[in-house]
Amino acid sequence: MNEVSPKEAQSRMQQGAILVDVREPNEYQEVHATGAQLMPLSEFESSYGTLPKDAEIVMICRSGARSERAGQMLLGSGYTNVSNLTGGTLAWVQDGLPTGDDK
């Protein structure tokens, strides 16, 4: 699976990529990348089928481990354009990118 930096992920989102946050709702409420779609790993297997297979999908979690697991599930289910955000939300915040409902 490809790895992308937070700034690369943000650029890809501006071009239509879907950012999927696989953390739990309480973690997401604390801080999340603006535009990220919450899809907790605990429910991921039953919900990822709603993601379009022809879209670019970038996975994010806190630091990158859970999102990599979820991305591997997608790749194993026929999704082909899946990347993992290196460093997760921690790196997103460190890079000063927008969080929450920021625009």
Along the chain (103 residues), what's the average pLDDT of each consecutive run of 10 residues? Answer: 97 97 96 96 95 97 96 96 97 96 58
Cβ neighbors of 14 (< 8 A, separation 6 or more) are: none
**For 2-94, which CATH class?**
alpha beta
Q: What is residue 53's predicted lDDT score, i.e. its pLDDT?
A: 95
Q: How far apart are CA 95 and CA 79, in angstroms?
A: 28
- Residue 78 falls in which region: left (phi positive, over 0), alpha (psi -120 to 50) or beta: left
Asked if 83 is an active-site residue, the reply is: no
Q: Quick one: pLDDT at residue 102? A: 58
**Among residues 61, 74, 82, 85, which one is catalytic?**
61
pLDDT of amino acid 83: 98
Look at residues 50, 35, 43, 100 and name the one whose alpha carbon lies nearest to residue 66: 43
- Tokens standing for residue 43: 């429910």
Domain boundaries, the chain: 2-94
